[in-house]
């Protein structure tokens, strides 16, 4: 080892190499700072008197499989200008960190391809050390996304834990980036978003959301000029929930064993897009068998396909007629589930038709939700809620491998 290798291998410059020790499988380089280079860490004055040294040890990039440390007796100096006694500034490590900046860069680089657990194991540090390191990096990069350019957004809630803990996520529909993660659901969760949005002077034109009242009032109040769109994705999601409920009710009411059997495995088939039904698994035939046995299930199923075509109309005038027709048929069907759905859609007509003013959908939110769910399953990271939120803010760039 030499003073110049210290610089080229570990990014440590301005110190003198003293010696190398090998203890318990570790390599320790001791370095020193020449007294004449000491400055006051507060005012930068070179007019200082030495007041002893404090031995500190910093983890740095390993050499091979050996954990490697840099030991430095950090000079304490009394500043003639300030009159105070302080440690001099350490240039190769952040204050209060017990590892070097080059270690930090290396760990972040590994984090792009390895889970936190793997990085921690490889570098012989704790899971929390790597997590904290990622957290500071994510915080620098993503904690305050720029909002000025926002034009079209989607707002949605996601369940993040058993016990019904929720987060509210705002997505930039143009870039696909998550631009806000708030605690809880409903209007209150958006408070910090509005506080950051106002000074950005963003001109948001359209907002996609579900039909629940959760965010509607808050959006109308804060973005009076924005078009609110109750989007395709959420309407079909709601419909699918009701369709599943109908199937469950029919199953419970069915008295014949055969009838029950046929209904049993159809839940996922009912929710699938017809073009995605797997011919090799006989899915289409199984679905048709179940529908043939249950008139109301069949009606509800085909009415879903019809409803889907509401978003394929050539313009708002056609769409209005189409929606009215659908609502009329659903009301006349005599099926409770369809009547409820008709009532809900009728009550949200203008927000549904608004799709033809601003053609947006929360579809991209689904992809984000799926990524969040995957991350959630690696539930380890969960102990640090702020970290989890930062990871969501960075999710579109997949900056780091899964939490693990």
Q: How many C-beta neighbours within 10 Å does residue 376 have?
A: 17
Cβ closest to Zn ion, residue 50 vs residue 350:
50
**Minimum CB–partner distance for residue 53 and Zn ion (Å):** 18
Alpha-carbon distance 48 to 44, whole Å? 10
The two three-digit tokens of residue 261, written as one number: 């059997």
Cβ closest to Zn ion, residue 76 vs residue 267:
76
User: Is residue 88 a contact point for Zn ion (CB under 5 A)?
Assistant: no
CA 23 → CA 20, 26, 29, 243, distances in Å? 10, 5, 11, 67
**Minimum CB–partner distance for residue 45 and Zn ion (Å):** 5
Cβ closest to Zn ion, residue 1 vs residue 43:
43
**Minimum CB–partner distance for residue 134 and Zn ion (Å):** 35
- Taken as a whole, the chain contains a residue count of 404
Residue in 2, 20, 37, 45 binding Zn ion, rule: CB under 5 A = 45
Q: Are 100 and 10 in contact (CB under 8 A)?
A: yes
In this chain, which stretch among 51-59, 82-90, 165-173, 284-292 interacts with Zn ion, using CB under 5 A? 82-90
Instruction: Provide the greatest CA pair distance for the chain.
Output: 95
**Minimum CB–partner distance for residue 77 and Zn ion (Å):** 9
Cβ closest to Zn ion, residue 91 vs residue 144:
91
Burial of 295 (0-12, 13-18, 19+ CB in 10 A): exposed
User: Is residue 85 a contact point for Zn ion (CB under 5 A)?
Assistant: no
**Minimum CB–partner distance for residue 64 and Zn ion (Å):** 42
In this chain, which stretch among 37-45, 195-203, 275-283, 383-391 interacts with Zn ion, using CB under 5 A? 37-45
Helix ranges restricted to H, 53-189? 101-111, 116-123, 127-142
Cross-strand bridge partners of residue 167: 158, 183
Cβ closest to Zn ion, residue 42 vs residue 213:
42
In 3D space, the residue among 35, 33, 67 whose CA is nearest the CA of residue 49 turns out to be 35
CA 162 → CA 178, 365, 377, 393, distances in Å? 23, 21, 12, 22
DSSP assignment letter at 242: H
User: Is residue 43 a contact point for Zn ion (CB under 5 A)?
Assistant: yes
User: Is residue 40 a contact point for Zn ion (CB under 5 A)?
Assistant: yes
Residue in 9, 63, 71, 82 binding Zn ion, rule: CB under 5 A = 82
Residue in 6, 12, 70, 79 binding Zn ion, rule: CB under 5 A = 79
**Minimum CB–partner distance for residue 43 and Zn ion (Å):** 3
DSSP helix/strand/coil, 294: coil
Residues in the interface with Zn ion (CB under 5 A) total 7
Q: Are 45 and 3 in contact (CB under 8 A)?
A: no
**Minimum CB–partner distance for residue 40 and Zn ion (Å):** 3
Segment holding 4, helix H or strand E: helix 3-10
Cβ closest to Zn ion, residue 43 vs residue 159:
43
Cβ closest to Zn ion, residue 5 vs residue 84:
84
**Minimum CB–partner distance for residue 51 and Zn ion (Å):** 13
User: Is residue 81 a contact point for Zn ion (CB under 5 A)?
Assistant: yes
Cβ closest to Zn ion, residue 49 vs residue 112:
49
User: Is residue 47 a contact point for Zn ion (CB under 5 A)?
Assistant: no
Cβ closest to Zn ion, residue 82 vs residue 277:
82
Alpha-carbon distance 34 to 56, whole Å? 16
In 3D space, the residue among 156, 198, 190 whose CA is nearest the CA of residue 173 turns out to be 156
DSSP assignment letter at 315: S
Residues found near Zn ion in the complex (CB under 5 A): 40, 42-43, 45, 79, 81-82
């Amino acid at each position: 080892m030499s003073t110049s290798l210290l610089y080229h291998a570990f990014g440590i410059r301005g110190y003198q190499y003293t010696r190398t020790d090998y203890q318990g499988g570790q390599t320790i380089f001791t370095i020193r700072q020449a007294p004449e280079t000491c400055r006051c860490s507060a005012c930068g004055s070179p007019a200082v008197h030495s007041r002893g040294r404090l031995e500190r040890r910093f983890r740095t990039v390993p050499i091979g499989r050996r954990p490697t440390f840099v030991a430095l007796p950090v000079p304490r100096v009394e500043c003639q200008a300030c009159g105070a006694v302080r440690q001099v500034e350490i240039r190769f490590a952040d204050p209060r960190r017990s590892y070097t900046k080059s270690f930090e860069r290396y760990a972040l680089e590994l984090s792009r391809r390895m889970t936190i657990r793997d990085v921690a194991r490889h570098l012989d540090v704790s899971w929390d050390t790597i997590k904290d390191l990622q957290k500071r990096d994510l915080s620098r990069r993503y904690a305050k996304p720029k909002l000025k350019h926002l034009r079209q957004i989607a707002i949605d809630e996601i369940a993040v834990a058993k016990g019904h803990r929720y987060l509210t996520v705002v997505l930039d529909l143009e870039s696909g980036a998550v631009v806000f993660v708030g605690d809880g659901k409903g209007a209150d969760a958006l408070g910090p978003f509005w506080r950051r949005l106002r000074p950005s002077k963003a001109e948001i034109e359209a907002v996609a959301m579900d039909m629940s009242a959760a965010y509607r009032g808050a959006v109308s109040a804060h973005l009076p000029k924005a078009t609110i769109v109750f989007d395709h994705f959420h309407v079909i999601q709601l419909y699918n929930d009701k369709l599943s409920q109908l199937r469950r009710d029919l199953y419970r009411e069915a008295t014949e064993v055969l009838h029950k059997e046929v209904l049993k495995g159809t839940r996922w088939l009912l929710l699938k897009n017809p073009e995605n039904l797997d011919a090799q698994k006989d899915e289409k035939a199984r679905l048709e068998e179940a529908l043939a046995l249950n008139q109301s299930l069949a009606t509800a199923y085909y009415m879903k396909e019809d409803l889907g075509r509401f978003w394929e109309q050539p313009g708002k005038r056609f769409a209005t007629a189409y929606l009215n027709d659908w609502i009329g048929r659903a009301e006349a069907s005599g099926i409770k589930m369809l009547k409820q759905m008709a009532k809900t859609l009728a009550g949200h007509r203008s927000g549904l038709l608004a799709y033809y003013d601003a053609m947006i959908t929360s579809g991209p939110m689904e992809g984000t939700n799926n990524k969040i769910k995957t991350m959630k399953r690696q539930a380890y990271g969960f102990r640090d809620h702020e970290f989890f939120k930062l990871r969501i803010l960075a999710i579109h760039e997949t900056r780091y491998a899964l939490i693990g």
